[in-house]
Amino acid sequence: MTERIRSPLIINILLAVMVVALYFNTLDNSATNWDDPVLFTRSTYYGFTWDHVKEVLTFHSGSTYQPLRDLSYMIDFGLWGDRAVLGMHIQSMVLYLLMIVACYAFLRRLLAAFHDDEDDCYIWAAMASVLYAVHPVHVESVAWLFARKEPLLGIFTFVSLWAFLQARLVSWKYYVLSALALLLAILSKPTALVIPGALFVLDIALQARLKEPSFWKKRLALYLPILIVVVPMIVRLVGMMHFTGGIKPHHGGSFWTNLLAVSQILISYIGLIGFNINYSADYPIRLFTDPHMWQPWLYAGLNVLLVASAVAAFMKKRYLYSFFVAWYYVFLLPVSHIYPISQVMTDRYALLPSLSWCVLLGYLLNRLWHAKVQIGILSPRFFMALAIGLFCFITLFYAHMTFRQNDVWQNSQTLWEDTLAKYPTSSPANVNLAAIYIKQGRYADAQRLAIEAIKALPYDYLAISNLALTQIMMGQYDNAVNNYLQALKLKPDLHEARMGLAYAYWEKGDYAKAYEVYSGLHREGITGSPSHRNAMYYRLGYAAWKTGRKDEARKYLAMAEPGLREDPFKLSELAGVYTSMRDMPKAYELYSDLYDRLEEGDAKVKLARLLKALEERLGKTGK
């Protein structure tokens, strides 16, 4: 068996079969209403042209720069066309497999650098890689279409670290590959800016083991250029998040109480990765930020113990343990809420940190495998069999949870109903399920969910906007206006809220304010989908007429007319507006068009009478 485990080809084939078998049931999953719609509204993704590639590669202020992720979506739309969702799932599965293969290569090289027993290294690396491949905390990173950046980040992170090890142990030329992979990781997801931290810890551990001469002088030449590039990029990323509203208020109200929340979040991820059986799209946990309570100091103490254990292990030359403790903290640092973000915890943020847990399990199983203790009548191979049994049990248990969680991601409704069943106070679940219920006409249920989301996260502008939309549908226009205004205070560029606000004003008959908001949207070119654009111009024209702007009214109604002619009901409404405006020739033209398209029946008879009256007023003869 050890000989088979020595073969990278056999292990890689095993990993490939496992990944495909585990994630095959994601191929019929739909896109969810959690950011996935953005993929289908961005025209750049449609058509793999040079102009689109240039657009993706162009840096835009006020937004994250993730061109590799965007190029991968362009490939999906270019290859699959109308079946792009299936293509996205296939590519995500392939990228995840490549990430696992890269992880296995990295672990084999890493363990060999710090461990003298080759058999131990092969078994340990194989077990850890298999456990990492089947871990259920990774489902979100594969099943969610918008999470494409996660496996891309993983691939280039592992390649960069593997090449760094090769550069330190074989040839400096591998530094070029390591730097290139680091760059590609950053272009996949900006949080890759922490990778140099992992490289530095690995470098220190290698130096402690190998004692390279002139180490610090060489390291200064290596890391100083990295810092010169990375630090400004981190500052820019934080500034961009501030500008776009991605950074939320401090937990507990101050920087210091927020650090208590950070401490709790770091420990909570250990529970999520190692001891959770109910994986979900969101985890609304209560954060303890009151320094007069005992709970925050418990979490702080656990972090101190964990870091102290890593320092102690380093002093005892157990460098791998120290490295993977550092690995856990380094890759959680960007999402640990030092700068608070929307979600407290989520599975995709644990994709890289979870490797520490899998390596630890692999180490314990490997030690059991090689245990030489003779106990009574037990066979000398008892502990090897026990290790294999435990490994198979954990692998199958993880695989079962992964397979089950894939089906949770079947569609938006299954995803958010499952999340609320496990965590009823989840703000994203309440917000997104409310949006689904609005489309289904379940306005009372949607209103209840939106209110729950706001209770959980008072600054959630999407929840407030959803609440306003339900209130419009239920005829509560004043409440809708107030809530849209509140959402826009929190996020002034929330175009959906501006459109909703204008509609609420229009429905309640406040045409002056409706005109003000709609005309502002028109000036900025914010018109929404073609169907919404037609309705917007119609309402803008009507509001302009109601506020005495007759020339503007005719202009906007003319802009709405081509689209409204496609719907007999909307065409009738438009003709009615022209009748109210005393523009009888235009009203007669539209009603005549409508008459020609109606089937025989009462509606056509009534319309004939109306046309007859208009003919008499206009001195016409005809129908």
Nearest to 19 by CA among 122, 87, 97: 97
SS3 state of residue 565: coil
Boundaries of every domain in the chain: 2-406, 565-623
SS3 state of residue 508: helix
More confident call, 619 vs 308: 308
Encode burial over 459-480: b for 16+ CB neighbours within 10 A, e otherwise: bbbbbbbbbbbbbbbeebbebb
d(CA 412, CA 15): 29
Nearest to 264 by CA among 283, 278, 241: 283
> Which tens digit of pLDDT belongs to each residue from 327-367?
999 999 999 999 998 889 999 999 999 999 999 999 999 88
Q: Cα torsion for 379, 382, 383, 385, to the nearest 10°? A: 150
What pLDDT score was predicted for residue 621? 46
pLDDT band for 475, please (50, 70, 90 cuts). very high
d(CA 122, CA 107): 9
> Which tens digit of pLDDT belongs to each residue from 19-33?
999 999 999 999 999
Residue written as token pair 């296995």 = 104
Listed as own residue / partner, the contacts of 161-168 with beta carbons closer than 8 Å and 24 or more positions apart are 161/106, 161/110, 161/195, 161/198, 161/199, 161/202, 162/102, 162/105, 162/106, 162/109, 164/199, 164/202, 164/203, 165/106, 165/109, 165/110, 165/113, 165/202, 165/206, 166/109, 168/203, 168/206
d(CA 362, CA 360): 5
Half-sphere exposure of 437 (CA within 13 A, CB side): 21
Q: Which residues contact 155 (CB under 8 A, 6 or more apart)?
A: 95, 98, 99, 102
Report CA 209 to chain centroid distance, whole Å. 40
What pLDDT score was predicted for residue 562? 87
Count of Cβ atoms closer than 10 Å to residue 496 Cβ = 18
pLDDT over threshold 70, residue 455: yes
**8-state DSSP, 423:** -
- The helix (run of H) or strand (run of E) holding residue 536 is helix 530-546
What pLDDT score was predicted for residue 377? 67
> Which tens digit of pLDDT belongs to each residue from 526-542?
888 777 888 899 999 99
What percent of the chain stands above pLDDT 70?
A: 97
Nearest to 515 by CA among 537, 552, 540, 548: 540
> Which tens digit of pLDDT belongs to each residue from 560-573?
888 888 888 888 88
Count of Cβ atoms closer than 10 Å to residue 140 Cβ = 26
What pLDDT score was predicted for residue 84? 94
Nearest to 89 by CA among 26, 21, 147: 26
Q: How far is CA 154 from CA 149, 272, 274, 354, 566, in A?
A: 9, 19, 20, 12, 49
pLDDT band for 622, please (50, 70, 90 cuts). very low
d(CA 100, CA 263): 29
| End-to-end CA separation in angstroms for the chain | 91
Residue 148 near residue 142 (C-beta atoms within 8 A):
no
Question: Mean of the pLDDT values across residues 244-272?
Answer: 92
Average pLDDT, the chain: 90
Give the CA radius of gyration of the chain: 30
d(CA 131, CA 399): 9
What pLDDT score was predicted for residue 610? 83
The predicted model scores a pTM of 0.85
